[in-house]
Structure 1
Amino acid sequence: MSQQPNYKTPFYYARKRLFKNKPAVFGFILIVIAHLVAALGYLIMPDNTPFANDGAVQIQKKTPGFSVGILKIRKNMAVEKAGIIDRILNGQESEYTIVPIIGTPKILMDSIYFRPYGREKKEVDHLLLNCVKPLFVGPSNKLGKDYNYNYKKEGDKIIYLDSEERVCEITQEELEKEFWENNVEKRTYLLGTDKSGRDMLSRLLYGTRISLSIGFISLLISLMVGVTFGAIAGFFGGKVDHFIMWVMTVIWSIPTIMLVIAISLALQNKGVWVAFVAVGLTMWVEFARVVRGQIMGIKQKLYIEAARALGYSNKRIIFYHILPNIIGPIVVISTSNFAMAILIEAGLSFLGLGVQPPTPSWGMMINEGFRAIGTSNSWHLVLLPSLCISFMVLAFNLLGNGLRDAFDPQGLK
């Protein structure tokens, strides 16, 4: 019995050529790492509070590798523990307020004494119990009819009201042990701090999620709109083609910033979702032009004539017989437009028209660093987010060039 020949699809050869292209593979690896960082989110960020917003102005604009002692003072409120999914998506609210300190704090009687960072000459004190436990704020007589405080001492025992006004007790020894275990630590900021004393590494990692999200959603919007209009214009031609080409020319001539302002005014809002829509609506024209040109050539093929003769609808012919044959050019444009979307988002955020504080965005971080130029220790505020944008755009461009070479029909063997 004769063995059937082992035929390979064009995608098999395209994939084979792609993985022989080392720059494209390098770009692909960077993109995979970026997506892992965006997916894991707060789980891998040193500062896992919402938007990596846990900072102290005393340590603002510190250069990479900066280390400092941290005194953590308990907030007088109950902080709900987030589940694993909620923690990945939204982070975990911190139970503490941080105070940078010099040296090791001392415990004397009911108080702790420490020297704040930046004011080393002046030693200050804070109630030990209030540093370790969340206390009830406001008058209460639960500790006695004529006792309006939130704690009292009875020998070595401390009786206090927690944030929910419940009566609790703890010994001085237990209190001091818990303080040394939970309230004092040394932090090293690998990439320094920003102008508000927040961890730059955490905010850069979160910025990866913002850039990839805007790139993906904007690409999805532009892909749906561009392919639809391009397919209609290329397949039907005539007046429909002329009208869509006119719309494309008008949209192409509108600057992105003007379109964002117009959308912001129409929606009476500005922020990340406006950036999604605005970036998507500025990039669909390129998809439409390529799809239109490809379909105008393919619709003359014999198999399209055969589909018409069999009575297939125009919708079926476009989406089942034409579009699958132009996936290659669409994929190549998608990678380049993804990189362009990241650049556009960074530019809009730099101008204050994109992502709004406190959400970290690479463009907004560059703007903050730009405003700090001329002050001491400000070089990393601009350099680090700029490098992130450059490497991300480079990765998508390298992959796009590799895909273009891989899908080149002249290279099939």
Structure 2
Amino acid sequence: MMQPTQMVSKPPSYYIRRRLGQNKPAMFGLFIIVVSGIIALLGYLILPDATTNANNSIVQLQKQPPGFSVMVLKLPLGEKKKSPNILEKMLFGKEQDFTEIPIQKYTISGDYIIITPFEQSNAFPVGAQNLSLKKLSAKASREQRVKQFLDNLVYHKTYWLGTDNAGRDVLSRLLLGTRISLGIGLVAVLISVLLGITVGAIAGFFGGWLDKLMMFLMTVVWSVPGIMLVIAISLALNSKGIWVSFVAVGLTMWVDVARVVRGQFLSLKEKTYIEAAMVLGLPQYRIIVKHILPNMVGPLIVIATANFASAILMEAGLSFLGLGVQPPAPSWGMMVNEGFQLIGARASLFLVILPSGCISLLVLSFNLLGNGLRDAYDPKILLTGTGS
């Protein structure tokens, strides 16, 4: 006699992961976000220009198109600087102990190297156009000196995405800008979630005059434009540095979280298990932390994802206006502004399109992931077990 098939119940998280994995747009967004996160973490280790803020400027190479390649001469600056360890380089970059000079060609004549600069410019160091091989190594033969020059002092450099109006590598600054955008988004979301949960929980759980006070506070903050609030915070802190941008953006986004948390608390505190916990005399903080907040993980994840995209857009807008990240830090919004200032020049098109495309792609990825999470956490779908 055949035994009846037993139904194995599965936790809601199983259906959430399954539905999210079947959502191709959401998975595409997650892929872009993960790749961006890896780029942000590796930082200077993967940049063609590993100097601090990718700020190695070669004035002779301003506004060059993508794919531009040039021969470069390296001139030592003097005493060689100590090389940073891998963690220091990943976080802060490395200072160069040499100067890069673009050249058209070089000719070796006797014991001298005759150099033709990329363009006649006062920026070319005096005496660099006629280098002596004897200065490279006093004891080496002429052939060894020539080999040392070819191996260590001259090489071809390619700018895959061209250079900006200061002669800096656009690819390096775009990649490093990922760290700033994701960093501001992360800090802004953490601040908004922590502050929003605190205010929303107090308003929704206790009610009464505290609810009215918190709602008044949320209404006041909601009515102030985000840019005006950031300007006020910058003036109050008397700074426009990168950390001020992090905090200012976060303090403008907590109202959305607080409103959602308040609504969830008003609904959940009427549930039977919450009333039972109150009757048993459990401390209020334990009821909030142990019994209510865990049931709000889904909505909080969805709104945090949406706030991540909003924070990236706000940071880009503030940097474009000169109110966010300050030079020479490579912010995508500031790069768009630099390209906008060159409207009419040949290089302006890619200087605007490249950072704008990065902003759009990253914001789109967070929105796609947020939509996928919203569908995956839909309680109606979870109750029916669709997708199993």
Contact 2:111 2:134 in 1 (8 A): no
The alignment's C-alpha RMSD in Å is 2.2
1:333 corresponds in structure 2 to 303
For 1:170 and 1:96, the matched residues in 2 are separated by 22
Q: For residue 70 of structure 1, what is the amino acid of its counterpart?
A: V
For 1:276 and 1:130, the matched residues in 2 are separated by 53
For 1:353 and 1:78, the matched residues in 2 are separated by 37
Answer with 175-184 or 294-303: which moved more: 175-184
1:128/1:247 Cα in 2 relative to 1: closer, same or farther (>3 Å)?
farther
Give CA-to-partner distance per residue, 1:315-344, whole Å, 9 cap, x none.
111111001101111000011100000000
1:128/1:401 Cα in 2 relative to 1: closer, same or farther (>3 Å)?
farther
Q: Helix, strand or coil for the counterpart of 1:383?
A: helix
1:365/1:304 Cα in 2 relative to 1: closer, same or farther (>3 Å)?
same
Q: For residue 90 of structure 1, what is the amino acid of its counterpart?
A: F
Q: For residue 282 of structure 1, what is the amino acid of its counterpart?
A: T
1:15 aligns with 2:20: no
1:344 counterpart (314, 320, 324):
314
Answer with 260-269 or 227-236: which moved more: 260-269
The 5 Å alignment of 1:225-264 reads 225-264=195-234
For 2:149 and 2:130, the matched residues in 1 are separated by 12
For 2:338 and 2:135, the matched residues in 1 are separated by 33
Answer with 255-264 or 360-369: which moved more: 255-264
Contact 1:74 1:130 in 2 (8 A): no
For 1:300 and 1:126, the matched residues in 2 are separated by 85
1:324 counterpart (294, 304, 318):
294
1:100 corresponds in structure 2 to 102
For 1:277 and 1:253, the matched residues in 2 are separated by 19
Contact 1:230 1:290 in 2 (8 A): yes
1:353/1:170 Cα in 2 relative to 1: closer, same or farther (>3 Å)?
farther
For 1:2 and 1:401, the matched residues in 2 are separated by 39
1:364 aligns with 2:334: yes
For 1:118 and 1:389, the matched residues in 2 are separated by 35
Give CA-to-partner distance per residue, 1:183-206, whole Å, 9 cap, x none.
111111111111111111111000
Contact 2:73 2:101 in 1 (8 A): yes
For 1:289 and 1:129, the matched residues in 2 are separated by 72
Q: Identity across aligned pairs (percent)?
A: 56
1:361/1:129 Cα in 2 relative to 1: closer, same or farther (>3 Å)?
farther
Contact 1:256 1:278 in 2 (8 A): no
1:151 corresponds in structure 2 to none
Aligned-residue offset at 1:258: 1.7
TM-score by length of 1: 0.87
Q: Helix, strand or coil for the counterpart of 2:324?
A: coil
Contact 1:115 1:124 in 2 (8 A): no
Q: Which runs of 5+ in 1 are unaligned?
A: 133-156, 159-168
Contact 1:37 1:205 in 2 (8 A): yes
1:58/1:234 Cα in 2 relative to 1: closer, same or farther (>3 Å)?
same
2:180 corresponds in structure 1 to 210
1:77 counterpart (65, 76, 79):
79
How many residues were matched structurally?
A: 377
1:125 counterpart (123, 129, 140):
129
Aligned-residue offset at 1:7: 2.5
Q: Which runs of 5+ in 2 are unaligned?
A: none
For 1:130 and 1:67, the matched residues in 2 are separated by 29
1:293 corresponds in structure 2 to 263
Contact 1:40 1:88 in 2 (8 A): yes
Contact 1:70 1:99 in 2 (8 A): yes
1:220 corresponds in structure 2 to 190
1:146 corresponds in structure 2 to none
1:127/1:118 Cα in 2 relative to 1: closer, same or farther (>3 Å)?
closer
2:61 corresponds in structure 1 to 59
Q: Helix, strand or coil for the counterpart of 1:19?
A: helix
Q: Helix, strand or coil for the counterpart of 1:82?
A: coil
For 1:176 and 1:285, the matched residues in 2 are separated by 67
Q: For residue 129 of structure 2, what is the amino acid of its counterpart?
A: D
For 2:150 and 2:348, the matched residues in 1 are separated by 34
2:47 counterpart (45, 48, 57):
45
For 1:245 and 1:113, the matched residues in 2 are separated by 75
For 1:373 and 1:71, the matched residues in 2 are separated by 32
1:390 counterpart (360, 363, 372):
360
Contact 1:68 1:100 in 2 (8 A): yes
TM-score by length of 2: 0.92
